[in-house]
Amino acid sequence: MKAVYFLNTNRGYGHVSHTVWDMLKEEGYFQENTGWDFDGQEVMKYSDGENDFYFAPTDIAVCVDYPRYLPFMNKYFADCDISAMVTWHEGSNAPDNVLTVHSLGDVDSGCYGGAKPRLMRNLMMAYEGNRVDLGLDEYSVVTEATHWSGVHNGQGDASLLLQFPVPMLDIEVGSSEICWSNKDACRALARSLVHIFDDDGAKVHNILCVGGVHFEPNFAQSVFTQWGENETFGVSHIIANQWLVSGKYENEDGFERACKCVDTIEGGIEAIFFHDKMKGCYKDLVRKLGAHYNVPIFKHQKLRTPEELGL
């Protein structure tokens, strides 16, 4: 299998990514120079004997200038199984000491990138293992609500996200200067990248999460929930309450946009979990989705007792 990671190496721009690049080089993950030119720099490659990992250096985050990067992304990496952008997380109310992974999509327009819950879980399990190994006791591995920074950086055209056929994740360290400069946090990220295909054979039940806040703790924790004989949840797209409201998902086309989200999830979904503090119109949307996909719907508290769900 193949994975590609886009990392900004410009030390005058952003945080985290160029440090992760240094870590990958330091730890021997640049086995081979592909000879491919990407943004004026050379793409590096690592193989574990079964899987290939490509590291594409960029001058800025790819989401900031998708039109510029898309032709090269499609030229070299359209046949990859998964892709990700390594970057940093920040925000006025964003929590510190987080190691984050999230799926991509512009909820307002209904443009959702492809999602592979099993690979996302693999990556988060690797991230968690490296967090523990490196003694990052104050940090937590979490997932965020689905979003795409390309839109929020002024590009506006969310359909660009759909022009690269490979499902993409954002992998980040957040959310302040002291966190971005923590080399062990960056090292945990770097080491996790080459383990996205490591699989523990769990029975993964794919779910859609709806409502709650951007870092909804119930949804984030469900990634690490296990029960029965190695059963677990497959979390990918999370439609936070703020995006339901800003995207006016109570309108007639809200259901159609929500279906586009579900349809991007590889393997489909087995259940929908919703935060019970949502407005009634959004609960109605969840009920309609459940009926359409013939899957049960549950309040978010039920994530704590998965053995009772009958999945």
- Give 136's contacts (C-beta < 8 A, 6+ positions apart): 99, 182, 184, 185, 188
Contact call for residues 120 and 103 (beta carbons, < 8 A): yes
Q: Whole-structure pTM over 0.85, yes or no?
A: yes
The pLDDT assigned to 201 comes to: 96
Residue 39 has pLDDT above 60, yes or no: yes
State the pLDDT confidence band at 184, using cuts at 50, 70 and 90.
very high
Q: How many CA atoms lie within 13 A of 66 on its CB side?
A: 19
Q: What is the predicted pLDDT for the residue at 153?
A: 52
How are strands ordered across the β-sheet holding 203-210? 226-227, 231-239, 203-210, 271-274, 297-299
Residue 109 pLDDT exceeds 80: yes
User: How far is 132 from 152, CA to CA, in rounded Å?
Assistant: 33
CA distance 199 to 257: 32
Q: Mind listing the pLDDT tens digit for each residue in 52-106?
A: 999 999 999 999 899 999 999 999 999 999 999 999 999 888 999 999 999 999 9
What percent of the chain clears pLDDT 70, i.e. is strictly above it? Answer: 98
Helix (H, G, I), strand (E, B) or coil at 250: coil
Question: Within 10 Å of residue 172's Cβ, how many Cβ atoms?
Answer: 25
Q: Could you read off the pLDDT of 255-294 as tens digits, one per residue?
A: 999 999 999 999 999 999 999 999 999 999 999 999 999 9
Instruction: For residue range 122-177, list pLDDT tens digits in order.
Output: 999 999 999 999 999 999 999 999 999 888 655 568 999 999 999 999 999 999 99
Q: pLDDT at position 292, please?
A: 98
Residue 197 host element (H or E): none
Q: What is the pLDDT of residue 75?
A: 97
In whole angstroms, give the CA distance from residue 220 to residue 99: 11
* C-alpha to C-alpha distance for 130 and 107, rounded to whole angstroms: 31
Residue with tokens 């929020």: 152
- Residues 22 and 261: their CA atoms lie apart, in Å, by 35
Q: Which H/E stretch holds residue 64?
A: none
Which residues, other chains included, contact 283 with Cβ-Cβ below 8 Å and sequence gap of 6+? 274
**Chain center to CA of 44:** 22
What average pLDDT does the structure give for the chain?
96
Continuous segment of H or E residues that includes residue 254: helix 254-263
**Phi then psi for 246, rounded to 5 degrees?**
-65, -30
DSSP-assigned beta bridge partners for residue 137 = none
Given a contact cutoff of 8 angstroms between Cβ atoms, the answer to whether 221 and 107 are in contact is no
How far, in Å, CA of 279 to CA of 297, rounded?
Answer: 16
Residue type, 222: S
